[in-house]
Structure 1
C-alpha cells in the first residue's frame, strides 16, 4: 500500500504529506470525487479556509476562481501531470499556480490527486524578483497584457470592482530612446511605472501592455483622472539625468453592462483623440470617438486596398517663374485609386504610417515621380522635380536613401530633385536641393531656418491674401523681406487668381504655384498641353 493509500485524515497524514507540510508547501489531496481529503496548513492559510475537509475542492477557492477549478476537476484523474493558472478578481486580483500528480495505489486505479498550489500574484516592485513571470512585466514589475486579459475573461460587470479604464502613454518617448539610448528608455519606463503607482487610488490596478503603453483599471473611488490633470509632467531621474517626462491618457467609464474589454477599447480610442489634441492631458471617451475610430479604420482599409492593388499614381503641378516666363519645375503629388481616390494627401500619409506602409509607398511614389520628372525635363529643360516627404517617413532615417535610390534608377540628377525639411544637411551634402515647404504653418522655426542649407522656402497658402487687404499684403511683404536673407528663391503656393499673381510680383515673388497655372495632372498631360505662361495681362 502506498503512502497516499495508508490514510488521509487531517490528524494522521501519511509520511509523504508530512514532508510537504514540513517543507512549507501549500498542498491539498483530493479524492476521486474532488472532495478534500487532506490539506497542509499553508494551503488553508493561502485560501483562507479553516475547515476544508470533506468539501469540494472548488468550494475552498475564491468564488470566481471556482468555475475554472471545476472544469479542471473533470479531467484531473485522467492526467499524469497538470500545470494550470487560476485567477480571481474579487475581492482583489490573485493568481494561483496549480500543479498536480495522480496519487496511485500499488495495483489499483488512481486513489486521489495531490495538488500543490502557489501564489503567483507577486509585487509591483521591479527591484523584487518576481515569482510570477507569466503575469508580470519583467522590466517594471507591473501586471502585463496576459494579466489584464485574465481579469477581462472573469469580468462580471455587476460584480467587478473596476468602474473605468485608462490608457496612458509617454509623450515623445521615442525621442528619449533616440537622444539617450534604449537603457535610458528602460529606466524611463520603470520610473513611469513607479509614478503611476504613486498616483493611483487603493484598489486600482496598473499594467504595462507594451512599449510605453500603460493600462489602469480604476475602482469606483479612483482619483486618477484628477491626479493626471494636475501633474501630468514630472522631472524624473533617468540614467543619472534629470529628464522632463509628460504623460497623456484616454479614460473610459464603464457603461451599464459594458465589459472590461469594451471599456479598454473606448479608453484607447480616447487616447487616440488626445494624441490628436496634444495640449490635452486627459480625454474622456465620448461616442464620437468611436465614430471617428470607425472612420479611420475605413480610411486605412481603403488605403491598404489601393496600395495592395497597385492603384498608386503620381500627378504633377507646375511651379512657374514669371520673371523668366517659364516653367521652373513640378511638384509631385500622390493619388490613389478605388475608394481612396478622393482622399487628401495628408490623410493618405497618416493612414499609410499607421499601417506601416510608408516605406513601401514612398518607394513606389518616388519611382513614379522621378521617372515622370525625367520625361518632363525633355520638354521643360532644367525643371526641378519636387518630392514631398512626410515627417513620419523622415523620422525613420530612410527618406534620403530612398530618394537617392529612386533618382539613380530614373537617371535624374540629384541637383534637379527638391525635398523638404528633415534630414536636410545630409541631403544637401549629396547634392539634393532642399526646400522648406508650407512655411508659415505648423512648427517652422526661424531660429532653425537660419542654420539650414536652404535652396528655397515655399510659403504656405494660408499666408496668401485672397483679396486686397492692405494689412495682409503688408504682412506677406514683410515676411518675404525677412526670408530673402535666408534664400534667394521664395515660392508661394495656392495662387488662384491673376490679381494674387500680380500683387506677388509687385512685392518681388516671381516663383508661384497654384490652380491659376494648372491643377495636378499626370505627366502625359503636361507633355501634350501648354502651360499658361505668360499670363494674360
Structure 2
C-alpha cells in the first residue's frame, strides 16, 4: 500500500513526516500514513490489529485494538518502539526477519498464521497480512500490517483435532469393524480392524472401494442391497447376523448394525456400520448343537436328533399319506466281551468302525444314529416296501461279518437287528422305536446275528413281561419266594455231600413256579441282585442249622447258582463277605456255581470278580458244560475247583455218538489236569448213572437220587442217614 504524502517542515527547515521524524535530505518530505484524523477514525473502528512500521521496524502508528493488546493507554505510546518492546526476543526476531524479506522483495505476506507470546505470558494466534508501503516513486519506505485474532479459532481447531484424535484412537482401539460409506456404498472411512479384516495395508487403502473388492459376489450383493435399503428408508439394521465369505474361502460370522448417516440438514448422505466378529461364538453354538444332537464318539446323530427326525417323518405321514418307512434297531453282539478283554479304547474303536460301516450301507437321506453303548438305530425315510428294509438289514449283516482291525488285532462282531415299519397306527416316535427294540431282542433270543420284523405278539409278550416284573418285585417284598434243596451225592457210596439251593416262586394264582418262569425277567430288570442274595442268605442260614444238627466229616456243603449279571453288580464280593460273617458260616462250605456261557460272555471282568470270591475261600464250580459249549481253553483263567456236566448232555448220553462221548472224556481229562473235580447233573436213570460213572464223574445229582426238596423234607432225608439208597421221589 502506498502512503499519501503530507507537507510540513521541521525546525531546520527540512520536511517532517506527520508522524514525526526528519525526512531524508535531498528527498521530498513524505508521510507513509494517512492523516491521523482519518486513520484514527478508520483504524479504531475495527477489532483487528493495524499498524504501520518504518524500514527499521519501528512503529509509526497502531490502532486502539493493538494498543489494548499491548496494554498501552494511548496508541501514540507505541510510536518509535519495536516488537522487542512487546514480544520475547526470539519471536520479535522472527517478525523482523519476515519484514526484512518484504522490504527486500516487495512481496507481501498474506493471512499467515502466527503465534505470539506477550511478555506477560499471554499467547495469541493471529492471521497476519503484511505488505510494503511505497512512496510516490515506488520506493519501499515501511510496512503496513493487519492481524486478525484467531486464538479462539485455533483453540476450536485444537479441540476439534483432539476430538478427531480421540475418535481415531477409539476407532482403532475397538476390535469391531467400523466403517463409513457414501451413497454408492463406497468406503469413506474405516478403522484399523476393518482394514486388517480385509488384509489391507491400512485404513486409507480401502477409501473409494466397495464390498465387491473384498467379498464373494453373493455376499457383496446382499450387503449392497441392505445398505441401499437403509439409505432409501432411513431405517437402521440392528445386530443382523451375517456369514461373510472372503474370496480365499475364509468364513467369518459377524453381528452387523448399519444406520443412515445424515448431514446437518437431516439428509441421508451415506451409511455408518459396525460389525462384531462372532465367529467363535457361532462355532461354540455349533459345537453345542453337535453335542446336543450328535454322538461325540462316532459323530452320528444321537437319540435326540433321531427322535426329532422320526417325529417329523411321522408328522409328514399324517399330513400327506404316502409310502412306508422303516426303523431298524441294531445291537452289536458280544460287544461287552470286546470291551472287557481288549479295553475301553478298543471298544470305542470298534464302535467308530461299526458306525462307518453302517453309514456305507445306507442310501442318501437315511439316518443312522447311536443311541448309546453298542445300540444303533437306522431310519429309512422312504421305502417301496418291506423288501427294501430287509435287503438293507442283510447288507448290514454282511458288512458286520467282516473282520474289524482294532488296536493291532482283528475283531469279529455281528449284529442283531429289529425292524418296525411305519406309519401304521403309531402315534409317536417312541412307540415305533420301542417296537423295533422289541424285535431286536427277539433276534438276540433267537440266536443273534440275525434280524426280526416286529409283530404284535412281541408287544403282547413285552406287556406280559412288564406285568411279570411288577409281580416279581412284589413277590420279593411279600416273601413269596421259596428255596428248595436237591442233594448232591458221591457216586462211589451215594453219600450226601451237600445240596444245591434252587429258587421257586409261590405265585398266589399260578402256584409254584420254576426259575424258567421268572429268572429271565429278574436278569433283565436287575432284580437278580436282591433275589440272588436272598437265596444265598437263606441257603447259608439253612446249611448252618443242618451242620449243627447233622455233623459229618467232611461237613455238608451248599451250592448256589449265581448269574454273570449278579457277579458283576457293584459290591458283590463285599456283600458276600458280610453275609458269611453275619451267619457264621465257614466260606469253604459254600460253593458258587457259574455257567460256562456267563464266564465266556465277559471273561475278563468275570475272572477278576471270581478271583476275589476265591480269595474269601468260597469254592467255585463251572456248570452247564457239554459238547455244545464254547471253547474250553479260557476256563483255565477261572479259579474253579470243579466242573459240572450239563443236564441236557446227560439226558442224551445213552444215544450219544462215540465222538460226543469222547469229547466229554477229553474235557474231563483236561479239567482233572487243571486240578478240577467233575460232577454231573440231571441223572435220572441207572443207565445214565452208569454212563457218568464211566466218564469218571465223582458226584452227581438228579431225580434218580432225589427231586429238589423243601427244607423240611431235606432235613428228614438227612435224618434218615448220610446215604441215599433209592430215589425218594418214587
With normalisation by structure 2, the TM-score equals 0.52
> SS in structure 1 opposite 2:242?
coil
Contact 1:315 1:333 in 2 (8 A): yes
Shift of 1:137: 3.5
CA distance in 2, matches of 1:450, 1:173: 22
Q: Secondary structure at the match of 2:442?
A: helix
Q: CA deviation at 1:153?
A: 4.3
Counterparts of 2:356 and 2:667, CA distance in 1: 51
Identify which of 366, 391, 416 aligns with 2:564.
391
Are 1:228 and 1:282, in contact at CA under 8 Å, matched by a contact in 2? Answer: no
Contact 2:668 2:678 in 1 (8 A): no
Give the corresponding residue for 2:379: 217
Shift of residue 216 of structure 1? 1.4
Consecutive unaligned residues in structure 1, runs of 5 or more = 1-8, 27-121
Structure 1 pair 387–469 and aligned structure 2 pair: CA distance change class (3 A): same
Q: Which residue in the other structure is 2:492 paired with?
A: 323
Residue pairs, 1:427-438, within 5 angstroms: 427-438=613-624
Distance (Å, rounded) in 2 between the aligned partners of 1:179 and 1:334: 32
Residue 533 of structure 2 aligns to a residue whose secondary structure is: helix
Report if the CA contact (8 A) 2:487-2:500 is conserved: yes
**Structure 2 equivalent of residue 163 of structure 1:** 325
Picking from 530, 537, 542, the partner of 1:360 is 530
Cα contact 1:435–1:454 (8 A) shared by 2: yes
Q: 1: distance between equivalents of 2:496 and 2:445?
A: 38
In structure 2, relative to structure 1, the CA distance for the partners of 1:14 and 1:265 (3 Å cut) is farther
Deviation at 1:184, TM superposition (A): 4.5
Match of 2:242 among 18, 21, 24: 24
Shift of 1:302: 2.8
Rate the CA distance shift 1:485–1:142 in 2: closer, same or farther, 3 A.
closer
Contact 1:317–1:520 (CA under 8 A) maintained in structure 2? yes
Shift of 1:322: 4.3
How far did 1:309 drift? Answer: 2.7
Higher mean alpha-carbon deviation, 459-468 vs 163-172, is at 459-468
Root-mean-square deviation (CA), in Å? 3.7
TM-score by structure 1 length? 0.68
Aligned to 2:295: 137
Q: CA deviation at 1:510?
A: 5.0
1:232 and 1:246 in contact (8 A); partners too: yes
* Helix, strand or coil at the partner of 2:539: helix
CA contact (8 A) 2:651 2:683 kept: no
The structure 1 residue matched to 2:356, chosen from 183, 190, 194, is: 194
Q: Partners in 2 of 1:470 and 1:441 — Cα distance?
A: 11
2:708 pairs with 1:520: yes
Q: CA deviation at 1:314?
A: 1.9
The answer as to 2:725 corresponding to 1:535 is yes
Pairing partner for 1:203 from 338, 347, 365:
365
Which 5+ residue runs of structure 2 have no aligned equivalent? 1-228, 245-281, 600-606
- Please tell me whether residue 371 in structure 1 is matched to residue 541 in structure 2: yes
1:140 offset after TM fit, Å?
Answer: 3.5
1:83 is matched with which residue? Answer: none
Alignment of 1:101-112 (within 5 A): none
Distance 1:173 1:502, change over 3 A: closer
**Greater CA drift, 134-143 or 476-485:** 476-485
d(CA) in 2 for partners of 1:250, 1:194: 20
Q: Deviations over 1:182-229 (max 9, x none)?
A: 454444444433332222111112222233222211023456324213
Match of 1:173 among 335, 347, 357: 335
Q: Could you tell me how far apart the structure 2 residues matched to 1:453 and 1:485 are? A: 14
The answer as to whether partners of 2:294 and 2:300 remain within 8 angstroms in 1 is yes
Q: Distance in 2 between matches of 1:163 and 1:413?
A: 62
Partner of 1:511: 699
Q: 2:474 — aligned with what? A: 305
> 1:128-527 residue pairs with structure 2 within 5 A?
129=287, 131=289, 133-154=291-312, 155-156=314-315, 157=317, 159=320, 163-221=325-383, 224-236=392-404, 243-254=411-422, 256-259=424-427, 260-338=429-507, 342-378=512-548, 379-381=550-552, 382-396=555-569, 398-421=571-594, 422=599, 423=607, 424-440=610-626, 443-449=629-635, 452-465=638-651, 475=661, 478=665, 482=669, 483-487=671-675, 489-501=677-689, 504-505=692-693, 508-527=696-715
Contact 2:506 2:513 in 1 (8 A): no
Structure 1 residue 438, shift from structure 2 partner: 1.9
- 1:347, distance to aligned residue in structure 2 (A): 4.9
Cα distance change, pair 25–224 in 1 and its aligned pair in 2 (3 A): same
Q: Residues 429-481 of structure 1, C-alpha deviation per residue, up to 9 Å, x if partnerless? A: 43222222122165353323456544322212222257965857992884686
Residues matched between the structures, number: 428
CA contact (8 A) 1:201 1:224 kept: no
Using the TM superposition, give the Cα deviation of residue 321 of structure 1 relative to its aligned residue in structure 2, in angstroms.
1.9
